[in-house]
Amino acid sequence: MKVKVYGNKKVSGKVKVSGSKNAALPIICASLLNKNKVVLKNVPRISDVFDIINILKYLDCKIKFKRNTLIIDSANLNYKPLLLEECQKIRASYYFVGIFLSIYNKCEILLPGGCNIGKRPIDYHLKAFSDMGYIYTIEDNVLNVRLDKELSNIDICISDKSVGASMNAILASTKFKKAKLSNLLIEPECEGLIKFLNIMGYNYTIHKDEVTIKSFINNDQKVKYRIIPDRIEAMTFTVIGLLCGKLKIKKCNPNHLLFPLNILVKNGFKVKINKNSLYVYKSVGNQINIETDTYPGFPTDLQSIFGVLASQTNDNSQIVENIFENRMQIYYDLIKSGIRCNVKDNKVDIVPGKVKSANYKSYDLRHGAAVIILSLIGDKSSFIENFEVVLRGYEDLLRKLRRIGVKIEKIK
């Protein structure tokens, strides 16, 4: 999909933040653990969610998805090899492994896809499953996991900090009466998953980077849960407001964004923080010096977006990407648009300047969001190709942008 974005635009108005993609996807998979109905509120209508719903339908689950309420009935759930193309389209399909091991002690699935921001192996996931008594093979892109030895309880340490491996290990641990998992990365999305599991009758307690499960009261009742707001979407629109006008960002959770918000406030950007909203005003801050880190540090998903903001500050900035090995694309787009950037491996020095409109291609979801913002501060209009990758993670994006005054057109 190709769009045309008109530059030099003022924005104003309100944006309601949708439910978090990265919180919804593992919870939708975890719903299979409940034999009764699960009602999920605030589920974003984005392509990654529709892909994962197609996998649930293939597994004979009954699905109702009206507005942002998703009702999942997995009473007729059947084990099947997961060799669907949806498994390769998204990264989060790997959460079915943890679920299937918990329910069936086995899983056969196509290896996951997702944004091309690095190699993105799943070795930490596989090590956790091996520590839980499983063996696995990978042949022709198909992961096959089988039970090797039945353990009654587990005490395992995840190889390194990983959002996906932490949540997948928690999902697989639901079969054990007693389990201790350490070295987890408990980001807000993971916390949401644990809250959801506890509503379903599990009894996880969190201590820093560890969780223990004490018992499981199989209540199999109808369960209701509301997905947390998308913190990355909230900050995406915050940066649009800081560069282009005045915005109220509604239904967000600033507590999940303390690190990036603190950088903005400390550097003189005009952001007013309320309980579940942000008021943002066009302002030029001093500079943006960041190093991406695991939560509660600066999120890697905001790195490209803040890179565009750094091109419009009073002073030079430096940004370092520590999580993924291939997430510096936006700086080549900034160079193409007349901004001086000195990129060395995963570090970039940015000299602020005027942005000359250019044409761009979205490489991944968050790079795509960053080039939309870059187009908005261009002197003319820009074309963006491969725009559909952005719709994977931002619900109703075109309508939300147009409602705050952005002129964006789909090109046939």
Contacts with ligand EPZ by CB under 6 A lie at 21-22, 25, 91-92, 115, 117-125, 162-165, 300-301, 323-324, 365-366, 393
* Smallest distance, ligand EPZ to C-beta of residue 364, A: 7
Residues 96 and 301: their CA atoms lie apart, in Å, by 23
Q: Which position has the token pair 């928690």? A: 170
Residue 162 C-beta: closest distance to ligand EPZ, Å: 3
Which CB sits closer to ligand EPZ, 374 or 389?
Answer: 389
β pairing state of 69-73 and 340-344: unpaired
CB of 228 to ligand EPZ, least distance (A): 13
Which residue number, 220 or 388, has a Cβ lying nearer to ligand EPZ? 388
Listed in sequence order, the residues at least 6 apart from 4 whose beta carbon sits closer than 8 Å to its beta carbon are 381, 382, 383, 408, 409, 411
The b-or-e profile of 91-121 (16+ CB within 10 A means b, else e) is: bbbbbbbbbbbbbeeebbbbbbbbbebeebe
Q: How far is the CB of 315 from ligand EPZ (least distance, A)?
A: 28
Q: Which of 29, 61, 115, 244 is catalytic?
A: 115
Instruction: Using CB positions, name the residue nearest to ligand EPZ.
Output: 164
Which long-range CB contacts under 8 A does 212-215 form with residues at least 24 apart? 212/178, 212/179, 212/180, 212/181, 213/173, 213/174, 213/176, 213/177, 213/178, 213/179, 214/178, 215/177
CA dist 335 and 350 (Å) reads: 10
**CB-based burial of residue 186 (10 Å sphere; 0-12 exposed, 13-18 middle, 19+ buried)?**
buried
In the complex, the smallest distance separating the C-beta of residue 258 from ligand EPZ, rounded to whole angstroms, is 16
Least distance to ligand EPZ, CB of residue 98, Å? 12
Tell me whether residue 285 or residue 299 sits nearer to ligand EPZ (CB atom).
299
Closer to ligand EPZ by Cβ: residue 66 or 208: 208
Q: Closer CB to ligand EPZ, residue 14 or residue 120?
A: 120
CB-nearer residue toward ligand EPZ: 100 or 394: 394
Q: Taking phi first (over 0 means left), then psi (-120 to 50 degrees means alpha), and beta for anything else, what does residue 128 get?
A: alpha
Active site residue 252: no
CA–CA dist 347, 320 (Å, integer) = 4
Asked if 198 and 211 count as a contact pair (C-beta separation under 8 A), the reply is: no
How many CB atoms are closer than 10 A to CB 289?
A: 14
Which lies closer to ligand EPZ via its Cβ, residue 48 or residue 333? 48
Round to whole Å and give the CA distance between 94 and 302: 23
Residue 42 CA: distances (Å) to CA of 146, 187, 228: 35, 19, 8
**Smallest distance, ligand EPZ to C-beta of residue 94, A:** 8
Calculate ∠ Cα 310-316-318, nearest 5°.
70
What are the structure tokens assigned to 375, written together?
């187009």
Annotated active-site positions, please?
Answer: 115
